[in-house]
């Protein structure tokens, strides 16, 4: 295998190692994948104005998220089915992530139980939560996450139904029999099989179990079930972000599910300024979907984000070399961030501000 020198190299290497169906499940987006591409392109369009003659001998990319110090403003986004990439699945990923002092966000749709993930972790964990038609399942997941030591929830709000992911239909995506939705096994919901020429098995499964009637009152209900912080993941409008805070959200995650839900929906980076303005510093604002380079962190923070969530590249590292592959992806990403800080004249994150953004790209701040 040729040496992977960036995250895109890991994607190409992962494609060679994974089945077509599994790679397609991770890599593809909804519909014509317009939003999938727009997520990356929005970051690429922004240009920076670096400062010169700044002492950057010592650089500190650390920050605080929900009261916890982390070595860089990066968490690993919740993603399902890690065992499609590697037999150790989420257990390998969480060892790599928390071993570097970063926060791992475990998915409801993991192929390892939230308890097993917690046992393998050596650092801070958050839990991504879906709200099910059967509220007792949701309540049970909250209790289990609390008991296992998770310190916050990310409530995903952008999946009333699953986006139409055509690659999964073409590839007849099935979760292998030895690859289960481990967190839902106790409720008899561990298998994702079936599908048709009209719907994927994942779409049939999700539409059967997830609650399409969720409203802001659901957020109130979730908050009434736990004393832990509850962030809202999947926000793409400033008014929704402000309303979320009114309903007690302790963080906003700007996300379009990696371009896997509404195709032709906005990219996350282009709506980040609107959401930052609406939040007015009251809670952290995180952003995922389209983050592919360390310099993207500088761009996101210059616009006003608190941190980014890194998604697919982590899975590519996992597919290539398990825990070591994830460690390498995170190390590469941190090296890119460190390099970008030095070249921008920013010895720490406090030095990142809107003045770094080139004036001809000021529409990002309007």
Does the annotation list 321 as a binding residue? no
Does the annotation list 258 as a binding residue? no
Give catalytic residues, as residue numbers: 257
Question: 306: which DSSP letter?
Answer: S
Does the annotation list 79 as a binding residue? yes
What distance in Å separates the CA atoms of residue 305 and residue 272, rounded to the nearest whole number?
A: 7
Does the annotation list 160 as a binding residue? no
Does the annotation list 80 as a binding residue? yes
E-only strand ranges, the chain: 63-65, 68-70, 74-76, 103-106, 125-129, 153-156, 230-235, 251-254, 285-287, 307-310
Question: 213: which DSSP letter?
Answer: T
Does the annotation list 251 as a binding residue? no
Does the annotation list 70 as a binding residue? no
Does the annotation list 223 as a binding residue? no
CB 68 within 8 A of CB 91: no
Does the annotation list 51 as a binding residue? no
CB 298 within 8 A of CB 337: yes
Which among 212, 215, 213, 249 is positioned nearest to 232, based on CA atoms? 249
Could you count the other beta carbons within 10 Å of the beta carbon of residue 202? 22
CB 307 within 8 A of CB 74: yes
Residue whose tokens read 């590519």: 316
CB 309 within 8 A of CB 253: yes
Does the annotation list 25 as a binding residue? yes
Does the annotation list 161 as a binding residue? no
Does the annotation list 165 as a binding residue? yes
Binding residues for glyoxylate: 25, 165, 257, 260
Binding-site residue numbers are: 25, 78-80, 107, 128, 130, 156, 165, 233, 255, 257, 260, 288-292, 311-312
Binding site listing for FMN: 78-80, 107, 128, 130, 156, 233, 255, 288-292, 311-312
């Amino acid at each position: 295998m040729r040496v992977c020198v960036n995250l895109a190299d890991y994607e190409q290497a992962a494609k060679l190692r994974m089945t077509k169906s599994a790679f397609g499940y991770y890599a593809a987006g909804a519909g014509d994948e317009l939003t999938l591409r727009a997520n990356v392109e929005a970051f690429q369009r922004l240009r920076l104005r670096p400062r010169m003659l700044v002492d950057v001998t010592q650089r500190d990319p650390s920050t605080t998220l929900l009261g916890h110090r982390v070595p860089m403003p990066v968490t690993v986004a919740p993603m399902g089915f890690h065992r499609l990439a590697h037999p150790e699945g989420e257990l390998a990923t969480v060892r790599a992530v928390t071993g570097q002092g970063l926060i791992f966000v475990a998915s409801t749709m993991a192929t390892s139980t939230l308890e097993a993930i917690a046992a393998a972790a050596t650092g801070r964990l958050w839990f991504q939560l879906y709200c099910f038609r059967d509220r007792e399942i949701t309540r049970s997941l909250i209790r289990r996450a609390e008991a296992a030591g998770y310190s916050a929830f990310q409530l995903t709000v952008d999946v009333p139904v699953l986006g139409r992911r055509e690659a999964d239909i073409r590839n007849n995506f099935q979760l292998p029999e030895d690859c289960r939705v481990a967190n839902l096994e106790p409720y008899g919901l561990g298998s994702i099989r079936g599908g048709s020429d009209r719907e994927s098995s994942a779409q049939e499964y999700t539409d059967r179990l997830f609650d399409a009637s969720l409203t802001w009152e659901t957020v109130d209900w979730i908050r009434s079930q736990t004393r832990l912080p509850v962030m809202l993941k999947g926000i793409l409008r400033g008014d929704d972000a402000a309303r979320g805070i009114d309903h007690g959200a302790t963080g906003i995650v700007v996300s379009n599910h990696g371009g896997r839900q509404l195709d032709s929906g906005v990219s996350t980076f282009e709506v980040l300024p609107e959401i930052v303005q609406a939040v007015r510093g009251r809670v952290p604002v995180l952003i995922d979907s389209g983050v592919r380079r360390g310099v993207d962190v500088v761009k996101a923070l210059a616009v006003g984000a608190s941190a980014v969530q890194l998604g697919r590249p982590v899975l590519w590292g996992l597919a290539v070399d398990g825990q070591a592959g994830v460690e390498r992806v995170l190390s590469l990403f941190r090296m890119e961030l460190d390099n970008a800080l030095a070249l921008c004249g920013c010895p720490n994150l406090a030095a990142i501000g809107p003045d770094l953004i080139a004036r001809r790209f000021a529409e990002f701040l309007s």
